[in-house]
Amino acid sequence: MRYLILLNRKFPYESGESFLENEIDKISQHFDKILIFPSDKTKKSKMTRRIKSPNVHVITYHKLGAKQRNIEYLLRGIFREKDKSSKGARQWLYSGYFEAAADLQSKRVMKELMRFDFKSDDEIVLYSYWLFISAKVAIKLKELLRNDTKVKCISRAHNFDVYEEKKYLPQREVIIKNLDKIYACSQNGTNYLRCKYPSYAGKVTTSYLGTDDRGRCTKQPSRVFRMVSCSRVAPVKRLDLLIDALKILRGSDIKLSWTHIGGGELYEHIKKRVKKELDFMEVKLTGMVSNTKVCEYYRENYYDVFVNVSSAEGLPVSIMEAASFGIPTIATNVGGSSEIIEEGITGIILNAELEAEELVKALKLYMLKTSEEKNKEHKAVRKMWEERFQAKNNYAKFVQQINELVAGK
């Protein structure tokens, strides 16, 4: 039997980890059983994504709510973590929390796994979706399982779980040393990890995520210049900067339209700014919508350009998905954004620390394009997506990489 044990945070409950819906569907045919253990699922969590494959099973193992669970981790961590000398108080607390969370989760997952009658010739892949707590859980599970079965331990690496300058990430070298393979979702992430941990550079490779082909937009450019963005409405996405840029375009001879897809903590703040400062143009704020609805917007509306001015990214799903509909992108040069955007061919890359005037300059370049130029660029974007970020191709390659790892190649 071939098993894939997936350790993630919430999928298929609530929101987030959106790529997993496509990925699980594609890779399920290559394993006899896939067991999903969402660590952050609570009693109140609602299943929001449908799993089609009958050999995929979701197993929950928490009885406590999120708040109570975090208190449990913290209290256990305080008594576990003894050495304060090499860390500040905050890092010391978080190190304890991290280890306690990994320890308790691994024990509870293992209790569930004991129900399965693993054989000595079974192949088991422990797959952490994040290079974080779940990766440490995977390592602990490997220690418990490897005497009886063939076990490999792998992890994806995205954004917050890669760049240590942005967030304190405990036990990095221990985790990287004990994983069999790390699949970074961007070449930027691969380069960072290889440079940071050269002794384990051979363990790190790039494995792009991907999006499904949801069709094409058949509408043509109009006299209205239509911009679209899609993200959580959070500080890191810097929608305030986009509004600052759009304000400068007041008085433009070209009619302007901006649609933002997504909700979040700053939604009401952005809504108030739009009402007060962008009254000269058409603005649509959709709030939180399903991925199906996002694709409907792209399919049923012609957008001249997608805009992403985030201060941090991994390999942005939002840009990838827009690209599948042929929409070019203006984006900041953070994370793996430049791996999707070819400067001057499929979009424009801007400095990460940009001013509103720089964004305006980029928008004006698109505003001045002819219909023929826009259609040509849309075709180039779509072609790039087909070659590099189509789900069925990228997940087939991912499975091939796993098979080679299990076979010892």
* Tokens matching residue 130: 């994040």
Mean per-residue pLDDT, 165-187? 94
Please check whether the domain covering 2-210+391-406 is classified as CATH 3.20.20.140.
no
The owner of tokens 């499904």 is 212
Question: Quick one: pLDDT at residue 369?
Answer: 94
The answer, yes or no, to whether the previous bond of 12 is cis (omega within 30 of 0) is yes
CATH architecture assignment, domain 224-388: 3-Layer(aba) Sandwich (3.40)
Mean per-residue pLDDT, 47-63? 88
CA distance 183 to 200: 13
Biggest CA-to-CA distance, the chain = 72
CA distance 37 to 58: 6
Percent of the chain with pLDDT over 70: 97
Contact 224/252 with Cβ under 8 angstroms? Answer: no
Query: pLDDT tens digits, residue range 282-326?
Result: 999 999 888 888 999 999 999 999 999 999 888 888 999 999 999
Question: Quick one: pLDDT at residue 39?
Answer: 94
Give the Cα-Cα-Cα angle 392, 394, 399 (nearest 5 degrees): 95
Residue 318, H or E segment: helix 317-324
pLDDT band at 81 (very low <50, low <70, confident <90, very high): low
CA distance 249 to 246: 5
Do β-strands 282-285 and 255-261 pair in parallel, antiparallel, or remain unpaired? parallel
pLDDT band at 86 (very low <50, low <70, confident <90, very high): low
Mean per-residue pLDDT, 353-377? 95
Question: Quick one: pLDDT at residue 195?
Answer: 97
The owner of tokens 């607390």 is 93
Helix axes 239-248 and 356-367, enclosed angle (nearest 10): 60
Mean per-residue pLDDT, 333-341? 91
The owner of tokens 């219909």 is 371
Query: pLDDT tens digits, residue range 254-272?
Result: 999 999 999 999 999 999 9
Domain-wise residue ranges, the chain: 2-210+391-406, 224-388
Q: Residue 339: phi, psi to the nearest 5?
A: -80, -15
What rounded mean pLDDT belongs to the chain?
92
Question: Quick one: pLDDT at residue 80?
Answer: 66
Listed residue (306, 305, 287, 316) closest to 374, CA to CA? 305
Q: Which of the 8 DSSP states describes residue 229?
A: E
Mean per-residue pLDDT, 355-371? 96
DSSP per position, 173-206: HHHHHH-SEEEESSHHHHHHHHHH-GGGGGGEEE
Contact 331/347 with Cβ under 8 angstroms? Answer: yes
Ordered alpha helix ranges (H), 278-339: 291-300, 317-324
